Structure 1
Amino acid sequence: MSDATAVLRVEGITVAKGKFVARDISFTVGAGECFVILGPSGTGKTTVVEAIAGINRPRAGAIYIDGTPITHLPPERRNIAYVPQDYALFPHMTVRENLTAACHIRRIPAPEVERRLARVTGMLQIKHLLNRHPKQLSSGEQQRVALGRALMIQPKVLLLDEPLSALDTSTQKIVRTQMRHVIRSLHITSVIVTHDYVDAFTLGDRIAVMEDGRIVQMGTPQELLLSPRSEFVAEFVGVNFLQGVVDGVSEDGRQIVRLPDCDVVMKCHAEHTGDVLLTFFPTDVQLSLSEPSGIDATANVLRGQIYEVIHMGDRVRVGLLTPAPIVAELNSRDICISELTEGAEVYAIVPIDAIRVYK
């Protein structure tokens, strides 16, 4: 992307937060593009978006909106909406008051405020919450209200810091889908910070991976999958991929993909023929200690052997040797953890709907 077509341009900024310093950060974001900054905690992701929002001033470098430098402008003059990780809703205000407060400060005419309110609350399905206070809302509802408040000012750039991290797994899936729909529908230029590769690959048009205060790789989801530049990027991205060849259609209309030692099926994509790359998230993989029965045409079953088990709090990450190495990430309540041991044989169930296809 050329600098001339970028809505947001971050040019070589160095910014500190406490003793931590993010260095030489550069990237551009085009009109309507969703740009994701991905990395583990403590790598400087939030420090970078706070610099864009105007909360922290860079020691070096510059930030531009539509080619105009904003590095030294206060936050209220940047036409940027920032949703922090804790949402920062005003507890003493109703949802309606939270949504409209910034519009009133900007002296937007009342009829226009009501028009925006109707559109935003309808799109986010929060009209029924208008008279409630934040403490009366679930985490998912608070997240939608915080996003709605940001959209009410019709910002040039939307910044979202870990927008789904406070939600439980089932709510994450619902809100993630809704967020993707809203961002795409409004064609809004956005930057999302996350530590979650599922968020990054679901929401992002391009992704920047950060490590120790620097961007170590940047590209489309497909580029990161196919060509990770380091072991860190490859391990952190963590998405499963299988290389195969499309070879015909099954009796029930699914496309057959031949792998070295087995076949899998996927939804029929007329544009995909020949060599393909199949990807799916570790969280999409289910494990069974015995051969599953009653599995219909909605899933693939791969027999494999466990080579690694990593416990991560309430999550367990399991490495499997199937026809190709894959990883499953499970809730510790989903399966008998004591039976997940290195060398044990299990069956990996991969839903067809979870598979993404790249040429």
Structure 2
Amino acid sequence: MLKVESISKDYREFKLREISFDVREGEHFIILGPSGSGKTVLLEIIAGIISPDRGRILLRGEDITGLPPEKRNFSYIPQNYALFPHMTVFDNIAFGLKLRKIPRKEVARKVREVAESLGIDHLLHRKPRTLSGGEQQRVAIARALVVKPELLLMDEPFANLDVQTKSKLIREMKRWRKEFGFTAIHVTHSFEEALSLGDRVGIMLRGRLVQVGDVRDVFSKPKSEEVARFLGFENIIEGVANGRILKVGDLRIELPREVWGKVRVGIRPEDITIFMEGVKTSARNVFKARVEGIEDLGALVKLTLNLGGIILRAFITRSSLIELGIREGEEVYASFKASAIHVFP
């Protein structure tokens, strides 16, 4: 449906370099990256707000690179929602329909239908300043969907919401997608949004799209250490592999497949299980470790573990920390399955 070809742009402090990807009909495509990686600039280039220095954008095979935003039939939801403060919710939602010269009765019908679907039909007489963040977001989404856009562009759509409102809107976004059948490009730094909503994801780091693929594949099989570290592989270790065994100092770690020679592997902290004593487990990799650090992260606690000179980090729940009675300096057992190990190419 949409094809982005070799887009480059120097814009203020941002530099985009040779960005290429495609978006399929009916897909929810996530652009995932940290703040400052150029995600919003890329989205605004696709929207037609900013012109690229090089490259082109094709919609159904037609070059739309020079087409103004109003001719693209895309709906763009910026991070601040950009609702008109002097207009009611009804008039905000109706704005795009009125620009298209839709008859008044048809405008009223379409606005009420989309407002009912998004659960805001009781707010149509209100002004944006009287709404909560979640309600404002629903209004912005309703305004975007009511015109039946070719493509929905969303810039950090849930960034300004509290955790509960965000979780609710993510669940409802799945329902709205089924109901309205839209195609979306969704910019975010949130792993939760990517995993919950995305079909495919493009990882954007320092102005480059460094990996594109199915969301689950990218998260489980990052193609570089840079991508892996961004996606939460805090434990990256180097050793010498002899078939299914990786030798790291005095440790012998079972690998998910045969590998030979010097390699580097990654293990997520959440894939390491902690026991206070040796137990029978399906995990082949079980090692005695000393707890060298305990970091409180809220619901989770990060443990820094020393396995014979090899430092690993593991996540456990706060309740598990209390139940197990883990303290700094104590010995524990750390286990992880061979299948949890990612071998870097």
| Aligned mate of 1:12, from 6, 22, 28 | 6
Residue 35 of structure 2 is matched in structure 1 by 41
The one-letter code of the counterpart of 1:94 is T
Partners in 1 of 2:115 and 2:233 — Cα distance? 34
Q: Distance in 1 between matches of 2:296 and 2:133?
A: 26
Is the aligned partner of 1:147 residue 2:141? yes
CA contact (8 A) 2:294 2:304 kept: no
Point out where structure 2 has 5 or more consecutive residues left out of the alignment.
235-253, 255-267, 277-288, 306-311, 333-345
Q: In 2, Cα distance between the equivalents of 1:108 and 1:32?
A: 25
Mapped to 2, the partners of 1:18 and 1:55 lie a distance apart of 15
For the residues of structure 1 that align with 2:119 and 2:313, how far apart are their CA atoms?
Answer: 37
1:325-340 superposed matches below 5 A: 328=315
Map 1:123-142; keep pairs closer than 5 Å: 123-142=117-136
Measured in 1, the distance between the counterparts of 2:58 and 2:228 equals 31
Q: What residue in structure 2 maps to residue 32 of structure 1? A: 26
Displacement of 1:111 after TM fit?
Answer: 2.9
Alignment-derived partner of residue 299 in structure 1: none
SS in 1 for 2:179: helix
Provide the C-alpha distance between the structure 2 equivalents of 1:112 and 1:308, rounded to a whole number of angstroms: 63
Does structure 1 conserve the Cα–Cα contact (< 8 Å) formed by 2:291 and 2:303?
A: yes
The residue that corresponds to 1:85 in the other structure is 79
**Distance in 2 (alpha carbons) for counterparts of 1:198 and 1:281:** 17
* Residue type of the alignment partner of 1:116: K
Task: Report the equivalent of 2:302.
Answer: 318
Q: Is the contact made by 1:35 and 1:204 (CA closer than 8 Å) also made in structure 2?
A: yes
Q: CA 1:95–1:281 in structure 2 vs 1: closer, same or farther (change >3 Å)?
A: farther
Give the percent of matched residue pairs that are identical in Structure 1 and Structure 2. 42
Q: 1:308 to 1:78 in 2, by over 3 A?
A: farther
Query: Quick one: structure 1 residues 319 and 164, their matched pair in 2 at CA, closer, same or farther if it must change by over 3 Å?
Result: farther
The question of whether the paired residues in 2 share the 8 Å contact of 1:319 and 1:327 is answered with yes
Shift of 1:234: 1.8
**1:116–1:340 distance in 2 versus 1, CA, 3 Å:** farther
Q: Compared with structure 1, are the counterparts of its residues 309 and 231 closer, same or farther at alpha carbon in structure 2 (3 Å cutoff)? A: farther
- 2:195–2:216 CA contact under 8 A, matched in 1: no
8 Å CA contact retained: 1:36, 1:200: yes
Local SS of the residue matching 2:3 = strand
Question: Which amino acid letter does the alignment assign opposite residue 318 of structure 1?
Answer: K
Q: Residue 343 of structure 2 aligns with which residue?
A: none
Asked whether the 8 Å contact 1:10–1:27 carries over to 2, the reply is yes
In the TM superposition, what whole-angstrom CA distance separates every residue of 1:275-319 from its partner, at most 9, and x where no partner exists? xxxxx997xx9xxxx9xxxxxxxxxxxxx986765678x887625
In structure 2, how many angstroms separate the alpha carbons of the residues matched to 1:229 and 1:307? 31
Question: How do residues 188-203 of structure 1 correspond to structure 2 at under 5 angstroms?
Answer: 188-203=182-197
1:105 aligned to which of 84, 99, 102: 99
Amino acid aligned to 1:154? K
| Equivalent residue number for residue 64 of structure 2 | 70
Give 1:236 deviation, angstroms.
Answer: 2.2
- Number of residue pairs matched by the alignment: 280
Q: Which residue of 2 aligns with 1:206?
A: 200
> In 2, distance between residues paired with 1:182 and 1:52?
23
How far apart, CA to CA, are the structure 2 residues paired with 1:329 and 1:67?
50
Q: 1:12 to 1:343 in 2, by over 3 A?
A: farther
Q: Taking structure 1 as reference, are residues 342 and 113 closer, same or farther at Cα in structure 2, changes over 3 Å only?
A: farther
Is structure 2 residue 38 aligned with structure 1 residue 54?
no
Q: Give the Å deviation of 1:128.
A: 0.9
Aligned residue number for residue 342 of structure 2: none
Shift of 1:170: 1.2
Question: Relative to structure 1, is the Cα distance of residues 110 and 11 closer, same or farther in structure 2, using a 3 angstrom cutoff?
Answer: same
Where does structure 1 differ by over 4 angstroms across 4 or more consecutive aligned residues?
304-312, 314-317, 325-331, 339-346
Give the 3-state SS of the residue equivalent to 1:188 in structure 2: coil
Greater Cα shift, 52-61 or 64-73: 64-73
Moved more, 181-190 or 82-91: 181-190
Query: Per-residue deviation at 1:15?
Result: 2.0
Root mean square deviation of aligned Cα: 3.6
d(CA) in 1 for partners of 2:11, 2:162:
29
Rg larger in structure:
2
SS at match of 1:147: helix
1:234 is aligned to 2:228: yes
Report Cα offsets for 1:56-111 as digits up to 9, x if no partner.
10000001111111111111111000000011111111111100011101111223
1:176-230 deviation digits (Å, cap 9, x = unpaired): 1111221233221100000011100111000000110001111112211332112
